[in-house]
A and B are shown apart, each in its own frame.
Chain A
């Protein structure tokens, strides 16, 4: 039934997209990310993007690991709020675009993404620049993945920024409660992927008044051009959901949310390598959001066995607000200061 619903929703999506294109006008031309970029490497669905920096920008390249749950351009949604644009002004900046995974990668484990894919991207960057290590910035689950990578390959990571990244999944808020009850075995037996529309719906579901409050805010501020620009760009991003590969989703729910293996140093890659926090050496900045309901503050703490130098900055905003809200500039500045010093 869910499979049929999925097909039905895809048809509805296509029809809606068509109608919206006819009626959207200016909205239709909204780009997916605003900073000029080029694709420098692809491997399956995954590609490595290089953002355009001004002439003469040098230094250790920065690789951004976005979340697997949504599209990367939340970090580059408008010129005014773009993290990527700011980073590219300071450093050669790269990003892993996870693309739109479907059932053809449904059998790949989570370690394929947090180890193999990140390693491939870093290899490309190191070959291009003739260097041995890079700086990493991970957002949301991308931060969890960047952290796991820095445990596995300590020599390849110089600085690490964890932007609202859950690491310790014990009491990880509302999503942990849903994960605890989620019928993961039935999911595994019946689905080749976690459909993007279902993930998007679950985010809306846990904030039942979100849509109403958004409509109210729109009513109050629609005469402001800057608000409308950001609102439309955000709507564009929200309407672009991504499916999560089935096996990786199974491992995310069981190994991270239910068993909390990463914080305990017991997470294993598909090749049998232990993700050991005590092996980590990268200087780390925990950049978290005080009102985050997806990665509450205590979930962003690192395990006690992790002895790498760590600093922490808390921004008074929510999980998405930290990248696009009024305090996003502070968050961006903190990350740049950390990377530059």
Chain B
């Protein structure tokens, strides 16, 4: 008896799940529904922009910085930080290149010294004479 009741409940729950699932799935995929919901969000966002602007003006009238201004300062700081990171990278690349340079330059310098050696020796021999 109880098992039968349980089965009926289970069947009912499964049917409910399927019906609700199908209905809600259709709803959230319905373009008309999505379009109307988007219009509602657009209206809310327009209202938010208007409210924020009014609040900014109130703050300006009281000679106080508004949230928008503080965010702008934060964004400027972000830009400065970004610039600093770029410059640091460039500097590191420059240092890397400079550190790689002496090894390359050492060879021609050594060659030059070797090339100068016979002339130096000849001069020394001449002075000795």
Contacts and interface: CB of A to CB of B under 8 A. Distances in A.
A120 to B, nearest CB: 7
B122 interface: no
B89 to A, nearest CB: 7
A2 B45 contact: yes
Nearest to A191: B45
Interface string B31-73: 1001101110110111111011000000000000000000100
B78 interface: yes
B79 to A, nearest CB: 8
B89 A2 contact: no
A183 B74 contact: no
Contacts, number: 90
B109 interface: no
A107 interface: yes
Given A120-B89, A181-B35, A208-B25, A190 B46 contact: yes
B129 interface: no
A208 B21 CA distance: 7
Given A177-B31, A181-B35, A186 B45 contact: yes
A65 B31 CA distance: 33
B20 interface: yes
B48 A106 contact: no
Nearest to B84: A43
Interface residues of B, number: 35
Nearest to B34: A181
Contacts of B71: 103-104, 106, 192
A208 B24 contact: yes
A190 B43 CA distance: 11
A186 B46 contact: yes
Contacts of A190: 45-46, 48-49, 52
Nearest to B20: A209
Contacts of A340: none
Contacts of B51: 1, 3
23 contacts: A1-B44, A2-B44, A3-B52, A43-B81, A44-B81, A44-B82, A104-B78, A127-B92, A174-B29, A177-B29, A178-B34, A181-B37, A182-B38, A183-B38, A183-B39, A183-B42, A183-B45, A186-B41, A186-B49, A208-B21, A209-B17, A212-B17, A212-B20
Contact of B74 (A3, A103, A120, A174): A103
B21 A209 contact: yes
B85 interface: yes
B48 A104 contact: no
Nearest to B46: A186
B28 interface: yes
Contacts of A212: 17, 20
Nearest to A198: B41
Per DSSP, chain B at the interface is: helix
B87 interface: no
Contacts of B17: 209, 212-213, 216
A227 interface: no
Nearest to B77: A104
Contacts of B39: 183
B38 A181 contact: yes
Contacts of A174: 28-29
B11 interface: no
B15 interface: no
Interface string A198-236: 000000011011001100100000000000000000000
Nearest to B71: A103
A189 interface: yes
Contacts of A108: 78
A249 to B, nearest CB: 13
B47 A1 contact: yes
B113 interface: no
Contacts of A206: 28
A60 to B, nearest CB: 21
Nearest to A181: B38
A208 B85 contact: no
A2 B48 contact: yes
A206 to B, nearest CB: 6
A321 B41 CA distance: 31
Contacts of B82: 43-44
Nearest to A42: B85
Given A44-B81, A186-B46, A208-B25, A177 B34 contact: yes
